[in-house]
Each structure stands twice: as C-alpha cells, then as structure tokens.
Structure 1
C-alpha cells in the first residue's frame, strides 16, 4: 500500500536549490573502448550519451557538501535545523554520512541522518523533511541526494556501467503556507520488499557476513535485473504519479513539467505516455548528459532545469521516482520563484 504524509501544520516550501557533477565526463565511445558495447547501442537502449565520474579520492560526502553549499547560498541562509542525506553510496557503512556533511557545512549539533531507498532516496528524504516541518520539529531542513554510484559498479558489466553516473543535488525547505508556490504537496511513498532482489548488492551486509561464506568479488558489485526492473518501474511510477495528480486535483494534461527520476529514457517516456503528460518541454530530462545518478537524480534534474530556465515560476510540477527495495514515490508542487545554482 502506498502511504503519504498529509500536512496538518506548516508546509515544507522550497527556498533554494543547488547541484553539482564531477568535472570528468565519460562518453559512450570511451566506454566502448573496453566494454562490448557501442555509442549507438547505449543511446538506443538508455538515451545516455555521457555521464560524470568522480576522480579517485572524491567521496559522496564531498559531492553532498558542494551541492548543499550551493543550495544554502541560493536560499540566502547559512543555518538549518536538520540535514537529510539520501544516498546508496555512503562514505562508510558506519557511521552515516550526513552528520559529517552537516559539520563540514558549519551545522554541528543539528539533526543529521542518511536515508537509503536507492533511486527513491531523495523523495523519501523530502517526505521525511516535510513531516518534520509539519510536526514543528524543524523550521528549515536541508535535503540532499548524492551518489558516487560508479564506485559500486562492476567495471566489466556492460549492463550497468553505461547507465550510472555520479552527482549531487540539494534543496532547502522552510516552513511556510501550504497554498504558496514552492509548497511540497503530499509526498506519496511505497515499497515492495518481495522484489528486493531486482536491484541489489549481494555481499557486504549482515546476511552475507553472518553466513560464514566468503563472498566472491563479483557479489560486492551492484546488480540489476533489467527487464523485470523496467516493468515494475513503469507500473509503480505510473500508479504513484497518477495518485499524486489526483490528490492535487490536476489532470495530466495540466502538468507543465514532469520531473521523473532519470533511470532510463525508455522508462521515462513510457511513464509519461501512460500518464498522458504531453511530450517535448513538459518532460524534463538531463539523462543524455549525466546518466542515472540514483538518489541525486531528482534534485539534480530540478536544479539544472530551474537554472536553465526550463522550470518557471507557476509551473505545475509533478515529481516521481522508482528505486531498489523496491521503492517508489511522487509529489506535486507549483514551482516557486527561487534561485538554483549549479557547479
């Protein structure tokens, strides 16, 4: 069952956005030089032409700090009551990465924690932050999605290496009026653990470690069942997005901008088609340049689109994502007049 938070108190309102990708861009031709693939094959199956990859020594926390600094600058503030970091690739298994990110931002002492829902992590973080604001636990929350996803890929796996990239995006949420532009609508979230093997890293967790078995190196890398993932992603994302539209009282044709998790161009297109969101500028996309950045995907897309003028004040915006777990989520908002900074 899909569950969502219904704001009874103040709404969470976007007041600034920031995003970054590592400077190194990796083209399809570069991958084709050592993988059994080609530029044409990758573009046709995924819609991706290039993706960004961190340099050795750059961590998820490093990207998160950069994106967060830009978001805080855009919002014109230096303080927040909480930091929520969505990621699949924390700097360490223990402790969480968010407290260190918060301290590096000068926010020592605030609540800070990681959220792990793979590609839906940012929406899970957004819902959590909105709940904190509605409950009066916080007046301002920094929500970050950051990944160094290339660090968990099997370098020889042509089914995953071309798809994923690294990056980070962040938003500053403040307490505000549910009727004002930028107010996050009800955040719908769901999961189905019966499909947990679709998207996984087999080794490294307690299940493998307590088994007494030594895991082969291949089991420490990210694995994905592509065909089944595609089917579930399209079905679940379409359903939760439709529910979010119904709660907002919008028809799909009234959506000005659809910001879907940039998983795969075919998935994004299939969901938009099923919903009835018009083609063209209505469907925001940056997957051709950055690939699938997992938890960073949605905030990176929103920030880049706003900075480029593709998201304008007053735009009715639908956001949706699907990730491992499996997990899914969606929400709506009327886009506000706020700065968005990229690096």
Structure 2
C-alpha cells in the first residue's frame, strides 16, 4: 500500500514501533568527524524523522548494524563458557538501494557460504528494511553501472518532499502502525552517475598478478584499511580473547573487523606473511570485488557506493583503478592478438 502522511504522524508511528523495534538510520553526528570541528554520518538508533539524514550519503555503511565492529561471541571461565543474552527486539533499518544490495552480498558470505554463521544469522533474522530513495547521485557513486541503483525488495519504501512523507508499505505488520492517505507515487532511484566503470570480463589471475599498475599503490597506499571498514561488502574479521584483570582465567572472545590492507592480516605461523607490498594488497581487494566473488556467486561483490573513494586519506579512487585495469588488459589482449596474426 502506498500512503502519504505528515512528519508528526510518522514520528507517532516510530514511537509505537520502538516497543518492539530498535530503529537505525544514517544520523549526522556533530564534531565526530575526521577533524575536531567536522561531523560524520553513521548508523545510529533514531527516535524521529528529523534525525534521519536523507540528503547526504553516510560515511559508514549499515553493515555495522548487522555485523558489528566488535561483537562479543562468548564469555569463558576455566571450566565453562556462556554466550551473551540476545536482545529480543527486532530491527528496522533505513538504508539506500545500493546498501540493500550489499546486504545480499554479506548474506552470501555469512549465510550461504558452505555454512551459516549463527551470530550473523541471529541479527539478520530480526531485520526489516526501509529503503530511502536517491533522487540524485552522490559524489563518487557508480551504482548504475553495478546494477544496484534500484530495488523493490524492501519492507517499506520511503520518499520525502520536505513536508510530506510517502511510504510504500509491503509488510503487513507496518500497515497497522503507519496510517495516512492512500496516494500513488514513484520511488526516486538514481538513473545516472557522474562516475562510470568498465569492468574487465573473465579476468585471470595470471594476467594481472605482475602488472606494473599495482606498483603505483606501493607508495600511494598507506595500508590504513579505511576503504575496507567503510565498505558495505567487506566481511573479514579476526578474533580476540580478552582476559579480565580480576581473574586472568576468565574473559571473553570477541569478533572484530579486519582488513586485507593492514599489516598482519596475512601473517602465518612461523612468521611468513603474504602480500607485503601495498600494491599487492590493492590487487587482492580489487580481484575479490570484481572477479573472485562473481566467479563463485554469479554477480559482482562491489555495489558502487563510492565510500572507499570518499574515505581514502590518500585520494585513491577504486573506480579509477578498475578503469585503469580494464584499459591495461585490453591493451595487453590487443598486443597478444597482433602477435598471433
């Protein structure tokens, strides 16, 4: 059902939902940005329509709701262990089309990749999605080329013109909470980006592993890992055992986000480490995003949100890297074909 309602009625409905739901949306946090006087937009619990940031792209993705930066797995003692109590409240998550497509990618890794991860599954099963339309493309987005600019796989679609709120409600549960006037409207989905990418077809590792292209990133990339942390489809974690000061035999095990760019990610027993050059780490990430994942699951891992470009302190552009790789491989292929003739 499609309806329109006022901000006041929308806020009344949110207040009712809060009895059963934790409600997350992109929220502007003043003075929490990179510098002391700058804001940041992150996913936080909200209480009203006014707190939802509709007109800007979030700096971090909604991944941190479904796959927390730090997640407690269990407590342990000398003789026993106990998993944390689970919050029984459901989750309503406001997000954009590209980010809902990203959830599908994370689902592949944590739910359908040979086995299901119970920690992720517990959270995932509680989530309903409210998709916010994008009337215009944000900076560095290339979602149209990745096919993630629109979706109809949501529980509720949300559009606003500043005064009225339009809802496309597809889950019966929300029909009882949100009341308004029936009104036809179309969701706003981006039709064109300023940034475009051309992804190489059928990439083979032997064709890319020694390209001079990667050496550019040996010096440019500082291996901070921010591109991985802001990415909605990066899913790597590591585990940490925390021992309590009061009793060093007791503690807890946590799962924490990890990054293929940072030192130590590929360390092995005995001291060996793969991909010590920063350019090789860039190659690993690029191949995973536009080739390896697709070979396994049938579609691209990258959703074109552009957050990696937004967040990189060295102004490295992932979309430019893809286009440069495509150009180099085309030139390499043309050279080989010329030799065959």
Larger Rg: 2
TM-score (norm 1): 0.26
TM-score (norm 2): 0.26
